[in-house]
Amino acid sequence: MLSDLTFNELQMYVEKLGLPKFRASQVFDGIVKGKSLDEITNLSKEIKEKIAQDYPQYKIIKEFTSNDGTQKFIIEFGDGKIVECVLMKYKYGNTICVSTQVGCRMGCKFCASTLNGLERNLSAGEILGQVLLVNRKLGGNAKERKITNIVMMGSGEPLDNFDNACKFIELVSDEKGINISQRNISLSTCGLVDKIKLLQEKQYNITLTISLHASLDEKRREVMPIANKWSIKEIIDSCREYFDKTGRRIYIEYTLIKGVNNSEEDAKRLALLLKGLMCHINVIPLNSVKERNLLGVARSDAYKFVEKLESLGLSATVRRTMGEDIEGACGQLRNKILKEKKDDRTGC
C-alpha cells in the first residue's frame, strides 16, 4: 500500500510504472492530506487506474463525540477490518491514540482489545492512515497540523508488530510527510524486553511507556500473561538501559484494579522497584470491562495511591479518564461496533 512508502520509495514505485517522477509528489500529497484517490484532482483517470490497487483504501466509517469533547473514530481498511482511534483535546494541543494491530494476542485480562485474540498486524501505512484521516477530519493538512501528539496506546501491542511500528514512527515524523516530532510520540508496551532493547538501538526521540500494573510478578501474572515471559525486574532493568541510551524519561502506566494491586504495600514495593529510574507514573482507575470481572477503584482512592507514591519520592499523577461515555478504554468501542455489525447481519 502506498502510505507504507517514504517519499523516495514512492518515487521508485512511480518510475517502475513508467510514469514521470513528479507524479510521486502529487500522489504523496494526496496521501499526506488523507484524501481518497477520487479526491485527487491533478491525476488523470489512466494514472488513477494504474495505482488504484495500491492506493490506501482506509476511511472513517463512524465517529462518536463524548461529553468531554473526546472523539472516537472507527476506521475501516481495504479488507473490511476495523480499528478505533481516539482524539483527546488538551490545552496544549490534540493527542491521537492509534491502534497498531487488529485485536491483540497479549491476553491482558482487563483489556477489551484482546478478547478475540489477534486478527492481524496493521502495516506502517495503516497506522499512519489513522493520523492522516483524523488530521483531515479536523481541517488540518501537512503544513497546518491539527494533531500535535501521538500515543501508540490503542488496540494492539506495538512491539509485537515491531517493524511496522518503527516504520510508522519514521513515516509520521518525516519532514516530507506530516512531520510530527518524535518527542511528541509515545509508544506503550506491556513489556517485551527483547524488543525494548531493539527499540533503544533505533535511537528515536520517542517516549517509552510501560504498562506495569503490578509490583509483584505473581500478581502481574494473574492479569498479564506476558509476565510469564519477562519479570518486572527485567522490564525495569531494560527501562534503565533505555534511559541511559536515549536520555528519555520513562512513563509507567499503573492501572488500579480493586483487590489486585491497590494496597499501600503495592505502592511501597513500586517505589522500591523504580528507585533511581527517571520516570513518571500515570495511575489510572481500571475502566471495568463488562466481559471480565475485574473492578476499578474510586478516583479518590487513585489520588490516595498517588499521594503515597509521592510521599515515597516518586513523580505520579492520576490520569484523566476521558471519553468514558463512549466506551473510552482500549478496544471497548470496537467490540461494540463489531457486535452491532453481527447483529445487523443476523437481523437482531
**Which residues carry out catalysis?**
84, 330
Asked if 253 touches ligand SAH (CB under 6 A), the answer is: yes
- Binding segment for ligand SAH (CB under 6 A), chosen from 167-175, 194-202, 284-292, 333-341, is 284-292
| Nearest alpha-carbon partner for 87 in 127, 147, 172 | 147
Contact letters (x/-) for ligand SAH, 117-156, by CB under 6 A?
------------------------------------x---
How far is it, in rounded angstroms, from Cα 238 to Cα 291?
Answer: 33
Q: With contact defined as beta carbons under 8 Å apart, do 171 and 130 qualify?
A: no
The residues that bridge with 187 in the sheet, in sequence order, are 152, 208
How far is it, in rounded angstroms, from Cα 97 to Cα 111?
Answer: 15
Strands, E assignment, 207-348: 207-211, 250-256, 279-285, 316-318
How far is it, in rounded angstroms, from Cα 300 to Cα 252?
Answer: 20
Asked if 157 touches ligand SAH (CB under 6 A), the answer is: yes
Unique residue bearing C-alpha cell 491533478: 42
User: How many residues lie near ligand SAH (CB under 6 A)?
Assistant: 18
Contact letters (x/-) for ligand SAH, 196-215, by CB under 6 A?
---------------x----
Cell of 22: 513528479
Residue closer to ligand SAH, measured from CB, 3 or 100: 100
Q: With contact defined as beta carbons under 8 Å apart, do 335 and 112 qualify?
A: yes
The residues that bridge with 256 in the sheet, in sequence order, are 285
- Binding segment for ligand SAH (CB under 6 A), chosen from 38-46, 61-69, 104-112, 178-186, is 104-112
Asked if 286 touches ligand SAH (CB under 6 A), the answer is: yes
Asked if 330 touches ligand SAH (CB under 6 A), the answer is: yes
| Shortest Cβ 221–ligand SAH spacing (Å) | 15
| Nearest alpha-carbon partner for 224 in 303, 157, 321, 279 | 157
Asked if 111 touches ligand SAH (CB under 6 A), the answer is: yes
Asked if 189 touches ligand SAH (CB under 6 A), the answer is: yes
Considering only 239, 289, 333, 337, the residue that binds ligand SAH (CB under 6 A) is 289
Residues near ligand SAH, by CB under 6 A: 106, 108, 110-111, 153, 157, 188-190, 211, 253, 255, 284, 286-287, 289, 329-330
